[in-house]
Structure 1
């Protein structure tokens, strides 16, 4: 069995490094992770049977996360396909008006990401509204994207998205607890995004007439969008149900603490209720199919990351990391955000980065006595610091959404990183050092 062999720490490190290099070389991330896990196990002294057992045990450890991610697909499908996310974005921007345009755009992206929409999709939804506002208010594309991406990052750490689920289950804490813990860091991130975008509004290229002309082909039929009230049903029901248990714990209400409502059934229930409220019950199968298709890649990556996590767990690497940090007299608390930052950058993906960080360094982080909730929050916020690099899809999706070339899109990287770093620093200070 996997437990009968301890893989050498250096072999586990080689396996992890190989997986990251292959991802950077554009090999399919799942195959990259599996190959890294196999090579690392064999180099570290495991035989063929032990290697398979290590991979299977590692993949089995993420099954709970996979089930919850699939459940989140139902909610994401309803929010994205029904037009309710579009309704929320347009309402926020319209109500706040042109004078607060930058804040409105950042807040709109934050909100629709926070209610379960993937951050690239959130930017795609708000981008046409942003370009229209940018043309009218003479705000540069650079400033617009910093507002959208920064707001999306802030929303991403308080959402029931795969990255938050992975952070929660990686440290065996409740999804709602991670969402609550990251709320104040998210507000700081939103503020930083608005400040940076405001300072940049005259920097870079302006929105051109042809940018708006290109939008007409993809224009949304605003008249057929669901109402604001019905659009809010799905996220409100999800948030209320997820918070019942924490509220019960805080207020000592026994009945609520015994509910144990898990995201695995809360998110689909909220999606179904929301679809019925929008009178779209007949489209539930279509929404579920769309949501499931968006989660397929995440689930496959989870299996690959579970395999590499199995390699690390069955190696002496966690103990070596702990010893190294102690010898350097550096606070072990910092391992959590650093792991999130490095893995997010390596994968250019928040979800993959968080999955890799929890699977590879979770044991070492907890070995320093860091509380599981603090560890989850710090790894999670670390995952958004530099997850927008050019070797990931997010960079290119957002560039196309804002009609920017690669050079211009690259100028946003520093400012997006500052937003992510703000969230990470606040979470680390609040939960890692003061908590």
Structure 2
């Protein structure tokens, strides 16, 4: 089939149907696959062509899937060994008091940046944050903004599934996208701290009873900081070898392009041995894979509907619409990230859909792959926290918030995402 065999109407109907199913709480993987099938039929495909679309779409995401499976070893070690919690506790202890908002945002940023999923990073730091909030008299709304904003900033510079997807969608190394997101992330963390500090007295406060419950369940068997840092430090050093070689003009290092597929499991294994928990490695691997499985399944579904969109003329129609409106083609990358992440309420799924469906159209506007990847990636953070996604509810439960209070945070979270996307557009769309 050629790229224009399927009507854009079919692709749009399939995507809309998938979103409706997700809103009605059908598993996102099934929602996306059903949307792809129905959309293909509406667009004019027969049974054989529909299967071809599904297969080609899911095959296109296999490189991302295998890298995410490998990253599961790393995530499992960081989460299950207590290393991530140790890092968070040390950061908050060192910067606590008057710098409470900064410490909470930085803790979540760093935990996410070293490869822990953003919902899990919030879960790890939430008990510490609630304790700090109770002591300082801060509201839950402000505390969650600090955690969520910090997590968003860390998420665009991490070897997490969304970054792997952004890199894979434009044939880049994951370390390039991580470095590209650094300046937007710095602005994101700054805006997070400023806004959280402004609203720190607004909303429901943390009660003494909640803190007492947390203290009962607190873990005391945590590794020391020096050991906890070994896994992420090894990963960061190895991921940065090639970029540093390029910057310094050292050809041997520049050519040493070791994929995250190898680096993350290697760092995890060495880190586990350094922690003295070699006997737990298999359990960490299993736990990490369990954490990654829902994301992998969603990505397969996203690949299916991405195949439908790619086989249709929808990307061309979107480009034509952008051109007719007089908007610069530079904005297509962040717009794609914003829309797809909003539709699925997921950063990683949004990036997969945006890159898989619109990468060629984005590059055809003259945008460089690196710029396209970073702008799409940061765009996906703008409204990826909506109530039809799991992140909204995981974070609400972690903070023991009412639905009304959690909804109040959504707008503030979007301010952080808009800031990072805007900085990425200015930096990669017009300056560089």
For 2:310, the equivalent position in structure 1 comes to 313
Mind listing any 5+ residue stretches in structure 1 that lack a counterpart? Answer: none
Conserved 8 A contact 2:341-2:350: yes
Aligned mate of 2:281, from 284, 287, 290: 284
Match of 1:295 among 292, 298, 302: 292
Where in structure 2 are the equivalents of 1:27-426 lying within 5 Å? Answer: 27-221=26-220, 224-426=221-423
Offset from partner CA, 1:127-167 (integer Å, 9 cap, x none): 11111111111111111111111111111111111011111
Alpha-carbon displacement from aligned partner over 1:158-208 (angstroms, at most 9, x marks no partner): 111101111110111110000000001001000011001111111112211
Q: CA deviation at 1:6?
A: 1.6
Cα distance in structure 2, aligned partners of 1:58 and 1:353: 15
Q: Is contact 1:58-1:306 (8 Å) kept?
A: yes
Higher alpha-carbon deviation: 238-247 or 310-319: 310-319
- Counterpart of 2:25 in 1: which secondary structure? coil
Give the C-alpha shift of residue 214 in structure 1.
2.0
Q: In 1, distance between residues paired with 2:420 and 2:217?
A: 34
How far residue 81 of structure 1 moved from its aligned partner, in angstroms, is 0.3
Q: Which moved more, 1:324-333 or 1:417-426?
A: 324-333
- Bigger mean CA deviation after superposition, 15-24 or 194-203: 15-24
Q: How far 1:216 sits from its partner (Å)?
A: 2.9
In 2, the alpha carbon distance for the partners of 1:135 and 1:309 equals: 45
- TM-score w.r.t. length of structure 1: 0.97
Question: Separation in 2 of the partners of 1:204 and 1:383?
Answer: 28
Distance (whole Å) between structure 1 residues aligned to residue 76 and residue 263 of structure 2 = 15
Q: Is the 8 A contact 1:164 1:179 kept in 2?
A: yes
Q: How far does the alpha carbon of each residue in 1:62-102 deviate from its partner, in whole angstroms, 9 at most, with x for none? A: 11110101111111000000000000001011111312111
Following superposition, the deviation at residue 248 of structure 1 comes to 1.5
d(CA) in 1 for partners of 2:147, 2:157 = 16
- How many residues are treated as equivalent by the alignment? 432
With 246-255 and 173-182 compared, the bigger mean Cα shift is at 246-255
- Any conservation in 2 of the 1:9–1:316 contact (CA below 8 Å)? yes
> How far, CA to CA, are the matches of 2:123 and 2:116 in structure 1?
11
In 1, distance between residues paired with 2:424 and 2:409?
23
User: 2:12 aligned with 1:13, yes or no?
Assistant: yes
Indicate if the aligned counterparts of 2:166 and 2:355 stay in contact, CA closer than 8 A: yes
- State whether residues 309 and 357 of structure 2, in contact with CA within 8 Å, keep that contact through their aligned partners in structure 1: yes
Displacement, 1:3? 4.2
Deviations 1:263-287 (A, max 9, x none): 1111100111111111111111000
Contact kept? 1:308, 1:359, Cα under 8 Å? no
Secondary structure of 2:52's counterpart equals: helix
Q: Give unpaired runs (5+ residues) of structure 2.
A: none
- What is the alpha-carbon distance in structure 2 between the residues aligned to residue 333 and residue 218 of structure 1? 49
SS in 2 for 1:172: coil
CA distance in 2, matches of 1:323, 1:149: 36
CA contact (8 A) 2:4 2:313 kept: no
Give the Cα–Cα distance (whole angstroms) in 1 for the partners of residues 359 and 169 of structure 2: 7
CA contact (8 A) 1:9 1:317 kept: yes
Question: 1:313 touches 1:363 (CA, 8 Å); kept in 2?
Answer: no
1:26: Cα distance to partner?
1.4
Normalising to structure 2: TM-score of the pair?
0.98
CA shift, 1:4, in A, is 8.6
Deviation at 1:257, TM superposition (A): 2.3
Q: Secondary structure at the residue paired with 2:375?
A: helix
Matched position secondary structure for 1:411: helix
CA contact (8 A) 1:24 1:346 kept: no
